[in-house]
Amino acid sequence: MQGKPYPQGVGHAMRLNAWCAVVALVFVVVSSLLAPLYAHFCGVDPFNSNVAGTAWRAGRSVDVMQPNANPLHLGLSPLGPDWRLGAYMLGADTQGRDVAARLLYGGRSSLLISGASAMMCLLIAGSVALWAGYKGGWSDIILSRCMDILWAIPVYLLAISLSVVTLGHGLKLGPVHVEADSFLIPIMIIAMVYVPYAARSLRAQVKRLACAEFVLAARSAGASDLRIIVREILPNLWPSFLVLAPLVMALCLMAESALSFLSLGVQAPAASWGTIILDGEGLLYTRPLVAIAPGLLIAVTVLSLNVLGEVVQSALDASERDGA
């Protein structure tokens, strides 16, 4: 294409970033999905403690819990990593469980909870934004003030308080009863605390779209509010959802890990990356990998999601610029 003032699409550096992010995310997701496969073939149980277990190392069977190397051999330390594909490849934790298996199963819960809460968050934020932005007036004032109030409370403080309340007895919503150890509780809490974050930018978009002449044209044709929202405004809002989704999921993943680290998210014996960091806390000096590995996974996933959001944003900007 000659005569274009800008290169078409996104730049080369951006493209490389995008590929790295996608590869990292696919790796994390696929390996988490394959967790039962690893547990089955290596014959390890990721959930029940196994302090009397044994593992194969260099052709012979060794205890999972080793006596400490101090002169009196007081206390036990879990087995370290040997980096070979197989049972206890990343060593064991204080309860003798396979760290690698727990990481994989933990990834399942972390990704499931952050993905589901991101979706729920965008669903609620989208509805709020559409109604407030399109209707304007009192609906807008009330909904926007509610969002401001929610956003004024520190996100983690709010999430922690809600978790403390719901963890005791679970959640009773009329006939629906959510058990205290259900994933639904962290999902709902995390989704809720980030609604204002997503709703704010979406509402601004809707407000801009609501005064477009094509909305006036629909009104003058006699379209109902719902029809205008669904058929005229929503299709123009998809790009914003596409950009927000990975960013919100990254935030949700961090919130989930934080709650789980504080024992307020995923409940034992289930694992999430946050709970594994907590398990590794006591082993920081002897087996630092137990805490570092889930930390690295969280960092890589959050980074990839953020890069992805940024790439989607600039790709959309580019298509808007070149497509006119």
- Which residues of this chain interact with another protein, rule CB under 8 A? 212-214, 216-225, 227, 231-232, 235-236, 323-324
User: Shortest Cβ distance from residue 243 to another protein (Å)?
Assistant: 16
Structure tokens at 320: 């808007």
Residue 102 contacts residue 271 (beta carbons within 8 Å): yes
| Calpha distance 264→244 (Å, rounded) | 26
User: Shortest Cβ distance from residue 221 to another protein (Å)?
Assistant: 4
| N- to C-terminal Cα separation, the chain | 14
Choice between 179 and 320, CB closer to another protein: 320
Choice between 173 and 324, CB closer to another protein: 324
**Nearest CA-CA partner of 264 in 294, 172, 272, 120:** 272
| Calpha distance 247→15 (Å, rounded) | 18
User: Shortest Cβ distance from residue 222 to another protein (Å)?
Assistant: 4
User: Shortest Cβ distance from residue 317 to another protein (Å)?
Assistant: 15
User: Shortest Cβ distance from residue 142 to another protein (Å)?
Assistant: 20
Choice between 151 and 241, CB closer to another protein: 241
Choice between 92 and 215, CB closer to another protein: 215
Choice between 115 and 239, CB closer to another protein: 239
User: Shortest Cβ distance from residue 314 to another protein (Å)?
Assistant: 19
C-alpha 166 chain-centroid distance: 20
Choice between 57 and 135, CB closer to another protein: 135
Choice between 148 and 320, CB closer to another protein: 320
User: Shortest Cβ distance from residue 237 to another protein (Å)?
Assistant: 10
Choice between 82 and 140, CB closer to another protein: 140
Q: Provide φ and ψ at 98, rounded to 5°.
A: -70, 120
| Calpha distance 207→123 (Å, rounded) | 18
| Calpha distance 136→143 (Å, rounded) | 10
User: What is the DSSP secondary structure assignment for residue 92, as one 8-state letter?
Assistant: B
- Which residue type, as a one-letter code, is found at position 203? R
Residue 30 contacts residue 57 (beta carbons within 8 Å): no
Helix, strand or coil for residue 78? strand
- Burial state string for 33-68 with b = 16 or more CB within 10 A and e = fewer than 16: eebeebbeebebebeeebeebbbeeeeeeebbbeee
User: What is the DSSP secondary structure assignment for residue 322, as one 8-state letter?
Assistant: H
User: Shortest Cβ distance from residue 116 to another protein (Å)?
Assistant: 28
